Structure 1
Amino acid sequence: MKSIYTNKVLKVLVIFLVGILALACDKHEDYVPGKTALTESSGDWFIRLLIDGEDIYGLGYNLITTANSADETSLWIDDHHAIWDFKTKCPINAETMKFSGSDLASNVDGYEVDVTISNGAIFKDAVESTGGNVVDSIYFEAEFSDDPNPGTIYQFAGYKRTGLAEDEH
């Protein structure tokens, strides 16, 4: 008698567990995270520092990052100590992806400098990466308040990081 009762309890338990598992696997749409107004402008970029179109310092490609500000009207630009030790917030037009600003404050680890950014723009699918992939392009000009050669305009030009090995520097 005890084994019949045990078998019924086991069957009910199995049916209950199968039901729970079936409900847990309920089909639903995958979560699609929202985008900010500056999603297309944000990311990692491999850029070259140029003066009059030439890499006179021989720095090659360096990684910078752009990210949206909380209010989505400015773009954070961070050079990760690669070129000039600056991280600043620059006004941007989200629709045209053009950005510029004068005397933008930067304070990286206590190092303060003002940066003037002009002619900044991001172009969709505009260039070919070093690995041959079509990617977004970034360009802007910058002038730094602590430059020993005042008035020098530095050009930052490059492409969006793809994450592919052939495009890494």
Structure 2
Amino acid sequence: MKKAIYLLMIFTVTLFTSCEKDEIGGTATEALAGEWQLTVDAVDDAGNVVINDPFGLGVTLGITYNTNENVADKMYVSDLGNFWDYTVVVNCDCNALTFSTNGEAQNEAYDCKVNIENGKILLGAATTPSGMPADSLVYYVSFSDDDNPAAYGFAKYKVSGYRRTGFVSDEQ
């Protein structure tokens, strides 16, 4: 009986010590990926606000996320249909925390061209409604099927906000 107990103990110890845990890594664009609480303003060529919240949307949700290729120099930017309905692949630099389309890119949400420029993430630069620090995101966007800039005297839209915290007090 003692022999069976010893064999069982040796088997159990061997079983637990031979198990290896695989480290689960992040994606190639992990530093830039996230959910964002965003506002949209109409701006002139210099980035000066011409119209605050031109569509009366208030704060909307947007996301930045990895492509299927999982490369460090490309990611998706999407407004989840909350503003203009765009999902576009941008070029990015994970070390500099910047991104842009470098000209017009195809919108994957519907057929139009999207230009995203001067996109950047500033670590800890935003203050959430609850008063806590969060990462800040800002970029400028324009659309090939948008007649509003010519009609209302602005050049593009400034999209800016903070990384979503998940706290109820920071949701707007």
1:70-85 alignment runs, 5 A limit: 70=69, 71-85=71-85
Cα separation, partners in 2 of 1:29 and 1:123, compared to 1, 3 Å: farther
1:1-169 alignment runs, 5 A limit: 8=1, 11-26=2-17, 31-52=22-43, 53=49, 54-69=52-67, 70=69, 71-101=71-101, 102-108=103-109, 111-150=110-149, 152-169=155-172
Answer with 1 or 2: which has the greater Rg: 1
Cα separation, partners in 2 of 1:13 and 1:88, compared to 1, 3 Å: same
Gaps (5+ residues) in structure 1?
1-7
Aligned length: 158
Q: Percent identity?
A: 28
Who is 1:4 aligned against? none
Who is 2:46 aligned against? none
Please report how far the alpha carbon of residue 55 of structure 1 lies from its aligned counterpart in structure 2 after TM superposition: 1.8
Comparing 94-103 with 51-60, which one deviates more in the overlay?
51-60
Higher relative contact order (CA 8 A, sep 6+): 2
Cα separation, partners in 2 of 1:13 and 1:60, compared to 1, 3 Å: farther
Cα separation, partners in 2 of 1:63 and 1:27, compared to 1, 3 Å: farther
Please report how far the alpha carbon of residue 167 of structure 1 lies from its aligned counterpart in structure 2 after TM superposition: 2.1
Comparing 18-27 with 62-71, which one deviates more in the overlay?
18-27
Structure 2: how far apart are the matches of 1:22 and 1:161?
44
Comparing 113-122 with 92-101, which one deviates more in the overlay?
92-101
Query: What is the RMSD of the two structures over their aligned residues, measured on CA atoms?
Result: 2.3
Letter of the 2:165 partner, please give it: T
Give the TM-score normalised by structure 2.
0.79
Gaps (5+ residues) in structure 2?
44-48
Structure 2: how far apart are the matches of 1:145 and 1:103?
8
Structure 2: how far apart are the matches of 1:17 and 1:59?
65
Once the two structures are superposed, what CA deviation does each residue of 1:39-90 show, in whole Å capped at 9, x if it has no partner?
1111111111112442232212211111133232122101111111110011
Cα separation, partners in 2 of 1:167 and 1:23, compared to 1, 3 Å: farther
